[in-house]
Amino acid sequence: MSLPHAILTALLEQPGSGAELARRFDKSFGFFWPATHQQIYRELGRLEKDGLIRSTGRDSSRGRAKDYEVLGEGRRELQRWTAEQQDPRPVREALMIRLRAASVLGDPIADELERHLRLHREQLATYRALDERGNWGGGNELQRSVLTAGIMFEETWIAWAEQTLDAL
Amino acid sequence: MSLPHAILTALLEQPGSGAELARRFDKSFGFFWPATHQQIYRELGRLEKDGLIRSTGRDSSRGRAKDYEVLGEGRRELQRWTAEQQDPRPVREALMIRLRAASVLGDPIADELERHLRLHREQLATYRALDERGNWGGGNELQRSVLTAGIMFEETWIAWAEQTLDAL
DNA sequence: ATGGCCATGTAACGTGTTACATGATTTC
DNA sequence: GAAATCATGTAACACGTTACATGGCCAT
């Protein structure tokens, strides 16, 4: 149950339409909770129906942008959720299964490991660019911490893949 | 589509019943692909129906353990899947959303960060114990790499949480 | 023989994924 | 005014989660 709360957070930071939210999720918000536009529209509909947000524009025909803002009830719900205890979700990394499968089958896996290594180097570069371009300091230290987590995890991934490839 | 292949891998390493598989997933296999017994039974049923595995025992009444083994078709399917290109799944870490929510709401989050820090320290201890007890060297280097990944990611998590707490 | 545990299931639901559809806006 | 693009949606399905149910086994 994180997506509706991710959307509430994004709308509190800055109200906007479904398509704008989808773009923000692609750019930064979704690095730790990705979402497609279909998911976003579905959740926006539910949040509006439940009275947590409302659409501000009066023109609501099909192809027109619809801006949303968070209502008091939505802010309270987000506060309740943020204060909750929630254990971390288990990790799911299919490549680890494939390593074990390659191990029991005796099949090669180095090429795929190298490909993933490249992808993670690209992701690291993306995070670093964001980190350098951002203006940090002034109440958004926590936002930067999130980005730092992304950087640290990508660095770890890269270090692990390099040493695993060496050991092959 | 990783769970059926995780099960095939586990059954190739060692044939067994659904309940045995569920225990192995809790112990080691599921660190990077957790599964409940309900999921496992569902997949075992499908894999058997599709002719990738078969149950070896003849007694198949409801409360009796049913052992499965991988058929040739199952091994081929696992090889096909292992050789496939698959991009990494996006990470989903709800705590990062909660950090951003706490940031925009101005609410405290340190307690929950500390609680997660404790949980990750425990997980790290579990992985380290497994690493020390295992007998490594002899064709299972890749299995150890998977465990090493677990250790490195937990260490990174801990380092990040400590520095984030300091900065609060 | 019964109470507790173990193994195998069933059912309902929520979320994520993929493919496709339709109305509005812009561009040439 | 036709084509491309953008924004909003619908539909179907796969997967994961939770709660519950049933049959066998074992200890007392």
Say yes or no to pLDDT of B28 above 90.
Answer: no
Residue B45 confidence (pLDDT) = 95
Cβ distance of B88 and A120 shorter than 8 Å: yes
- Cα gap A124→A112, rounded to integer Å: 18
Q: Which of B95, B103, B156 is facing A153, going by the closest CB pair?
A: B156
Tell me which residue in A30, A101, A160 faces B149 most closely, judged by beta carbons.
A160
Question: Is the Cβ pair A102, B164 closer than 8 Å?
Answer: no
Q: Do B91 and A31 touch (CB under 8 A)?
A: yes
Task: Work out if A90's Cβ lies within 7 angstroms of strand D.
Answer: yes
Q: Distance (Å, rounded) from C-alpha B108 to C-alpha B55?
A: 53
CA B165 and chain centroid, separation: 28
B47 Cβ contacts chain D strand, under 7 Å: no
Q: Which of A32, A107, A159 sits opposite B97 (nearest CB)?
A: A32
- Residue B90 CB in 7 A reach of strand C: yes
| A58 C-beta less than 7 Å away from strand D | no
Chain C bases near protein Cβ (<7 Å): 6-11, 14-20, 22-25
> How confident is residue B157, by pLDDT bands cut at 50, 70 and 90?
very high
Q: Report the distance from CA of residue B96 to the C1' of nucleotide D7 in Å, as an integer.
A: 29
**What is the pLDDT at residue B59?**
66
Quick one: residue A66, left, alpha or beta (phi over 0 = left, psi -120 to 50 = alpha)? beta
Q: A-chain residues within 8 Å CB-CB of B79?
A: 105, 107
How far apart are the C-alpha atoms of A131 and B74, rounded to whole Å?
46
pLDDT at A61: 67
pLDDT band at B63 (very low <50, low <70, confident <90, very high): low
**With bands split at pLDDT 50, 70 and 90, how would you rate the model's confidence at A59?**
low
On the 0-12 / 13-18 / 19+ scale of CB atoms within 10 A, A140 is middle
Is the pTM above the cut of 0.85? yes
Asked if A112 and B85 come within 8 Å (Cβ–Cβ), the reply is yes
Which three-class secondary structure state does DSSP give residue A69? strand
Record: contact B75-A105, CB cut-off 8 A: yes
